[in-house]
C-alpha cells in the first residue's frame, strides 16, 4: 500500500467516527425543540435548498413539466417544485425528531392509520405479504410502520457509501422491529421471508438497474422493476398497496388498500408485464392525490428502450467472448 492509499485509509478511519458522533449530537440537539418548531425551520430550509441546489431544482421542474406542463402554467410548476423540496425537508425533520419513537403509541401522536384490516387479513393467512409502497410522503415512515404495528417485517436495503452511517440508519430501523436484508444474493432471502409469513417492503417507483419492463407511468413509458411481480409469482404472497401522506395539519396518514388481484395470463413474461402495470397504476393514483409529496427530482424516465437494448447487446457480446475463451 503506497502512502496516498494509507493516508486515505487513515483519514476515513478518523472522519467517519467523527461524522457519526456529530450526527448523533445533532439528533439529540434537535429533540430539545418541539416538533412544530422543527417543522417550521425545516420548511424554511426546504425553500432555501430549492434556490441553492440548482441541479436537483432543474430536474424537479423538468419532470413536473413533462407530466403537468399541458395543464399547469410555468409559475404553477415552479411552485409545485418548491413544495416538493419543502415536503422532503419536512420529512427529514420528522424523521430525525422521532428517531426515539419505537412503538405504535409513539407514532399515533403524529400519524393516523386507515385500512389496517386489509393488512391483517392478508397477514393472518400466513403466506407473507408484499407491501407495495412508493417514495410518497414520508416514505421512511411508511417502511418502518408495519413492524411498529406488530407485523414481522423485512426489507431490502441498499447500503450507503459510508458504512458507519449505514450501520447507524439500519440500527434505528432494527430498533423498530425491521429486519434488514442486504442486496448480495438477496432474492432467495426475500422469498424465504415471505415463506415465513412476514411482510416484505417493496418500492418499484424508481428507475434502477434491476431487471424491469416498460410500463405507462403518468402517460410516459418508465422502466420499472419486476421484483414485486416476480416475488408474488414465486411465493404466492398477496400484494397489498400502502402509502403515506402528510396532511395539511402536518399529521401523517398511512393508507392500506385491498390486495391487488394477481393477473394470470399463462405466460411468465406477460404475467410480469401485466402485474407490474397494475402495481404501477396504484402507485400513480397515490402520487396523483398529493403530487408535491413525491420525489420528482428522481430521474424516473431516464432509461429508454434503446438503453436496455444496448445493455443486452453488451451482455450478449460478453457471453460470446466467455464462451469463445472457454472453447
For helices 74-97 and 35-52, give the axis angle rounded to 10 degrees: 140
pLDDT digits (tens, 9 = 90+) for 13-50: 545 566 666 667 777 777 889 999 999 999 999 999 99
Helix (H), strand (E) at residue 281: helix 268-289
- For the chain, what's the residue count? 327
Picking from 149, 159, 307, the residue whose alpha carbon sits closest to that of residue 221 is 307
9 pLDDT band, cuts 50/70/90, is low
Mean pLDDT of 1-12: 54
The per-residue pLDDT for 156 is 84
pLDDT digits (tens, 9 = 90+) for 69-88: 999 999 999 999 999 999 99
For 133-172, letters b (16+ CB in 10 Å) and e give bbbbbbbbbbbbbbbbbebbbbbbbeeeeeebeeebbbeb
- Edge-first strand order for the sheet with 178-182 is 111-114, 252-256, 239-246, 129-133, 199-203, 153-157, 178-182
Single pTM value for the model: 0.87
Is the Cβ–Cβ distance between 46 and 83 less than 8 Å? no
Number of helices (H), then strands (E), belonging to the chain: the values are 12, 9
DSSP one-letter string for 104-164 = HHHHTTTEEEE-HHHHHHHHTTTS-EEEEE-SBSSHHHHHHHHHHTT--EEEEEPPPSSHH
- Rounded CA gap, 169 and 157, in Å? 10
Residue 78 Cα to chain centre, angstroms: 24
Matching residue, cell 422469498? 191
The per-residue pLDDT for 26 is 73
User: Cell for 314?
Assistant: 453488451
Is the Cβ–Cβ distance between 137 and 131 less than 8 Å? no
3-state SS, residue 267:
coil
Residue 41 Cα to chain centre, angstroms: 25
- Rounded CA gap, 263 and 273, in Å? 10
Picking from 272, 295, 303, the residue whose alpha carbon sits closest to that of residue 133 is 295
pLDDT digits (tens, 9 = 90+) for 244-264: 999 999 999 999 999 999 999
Mean pLDDT of 91-111: 94
- Rounded CA gap, 15 and 279, in Å? 42
CA atoms within 13 A on the CB side of 62: 12
pLDDT digits (tens, 9 = 90+) for 193-234: 999 999 999 999 999 888 999 999 999 999 999 999 999 999
Residue 246 phi, psi (nearest 5): -95, 125
Residue extents of the structural domains in the chain: 115-311
The per-residue pLDDT for 31 is 82
Amino acid at each position: 500500500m503506497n502512502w496516498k492509499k494509507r493516508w486515505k485509509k487513515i483519514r476515513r478511519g478518523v472522519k467517519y467516527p467523527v461524522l457519526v458522533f456529530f450526527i448523533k449530537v445533532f439528533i439529540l440537539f434537535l429533540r430539545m425543540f418541539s416538533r412544530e418548531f422543527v417543522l417550521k425551520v425545516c420548511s424554511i430550509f426546504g425553500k432555501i435548498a430549492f434556490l441553492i441546489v440548482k441541479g436537483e431544482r432543474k430536474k424537479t421542474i423538468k419532470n413536473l413539466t413533462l407530466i403537468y406542463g399541458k395543464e399547469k402554467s410555468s409559475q404553477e410548476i415552479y411552485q409545485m417544485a418548491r413544495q416538493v423540496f419543502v415536503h422532503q425537508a419536512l420529512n427529514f425533520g420528522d424523521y430525525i425528531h422521532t428517531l426515539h419513537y419505537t412503538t405504535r403509541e409513539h407514532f399515533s401522536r403524529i400519524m393516523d392509520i386507515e385500512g389496517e384490516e386489509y393488512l391483517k387479513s392478508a397477514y393472518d393467512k400466513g403466506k407473507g405479504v408484499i407491501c407495495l409502497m412508493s417514495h410518497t410522503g414520508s416514505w421512511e415512515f411508511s417502511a418502518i410502520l408495519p413492524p411498529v404495528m406488530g407485523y414481522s417485517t423485512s426489507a431490502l436495503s441498499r447500503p450507503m457509501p459510508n458504512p458507519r452511517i449505514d450501520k447507524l440508519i439500519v440500527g434505528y430501523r432494527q430498533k423498530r422491529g425491521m429486519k434488514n436484508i442486504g442486496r448480495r444474493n438477496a432474492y432467495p432471502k426475500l422469498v424465504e421471508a415471505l415463506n415465513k409469513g412476514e411482510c416484505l417492503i417493496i418500492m418499484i417507483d424508481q428507475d434502477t438497474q434491476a431487471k424491469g419492463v416498460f410500463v405507462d407511468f403518468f402517460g410516459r413509458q418508465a422502466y420499472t422493476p419486476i421484483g414485486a411481480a416476480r416475488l408474488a409469482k414465486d411465493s404466492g404472497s398477496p400484494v397489498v398497496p400502502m402509502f403515506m401522506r402528510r396532511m395539511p395539519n402536518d399529521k401523517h396518514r398511512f393508507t392500506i388498500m385491498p390486495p391487488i388481484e394477481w393477473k394470470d395470463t399463462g405466460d411468465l413474461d406477460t404475467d410480469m408485464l401485466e402485474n407490474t402495470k397494475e402495481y404501477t397504476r396504484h402507485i400513480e393514483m397515490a402520487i396523483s392525490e398529493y403530487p408535491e409529496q413525491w420525489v420528482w427530482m428522481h430521474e424516473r424516465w431516464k432509461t429508454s428502450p434503446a438503453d436496455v437494448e444496448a445493455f443486452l447487446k453488451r451482455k450478449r457480446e460478453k457471453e460470446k467472448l466467455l464462451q469463445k475463451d472457454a472453447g
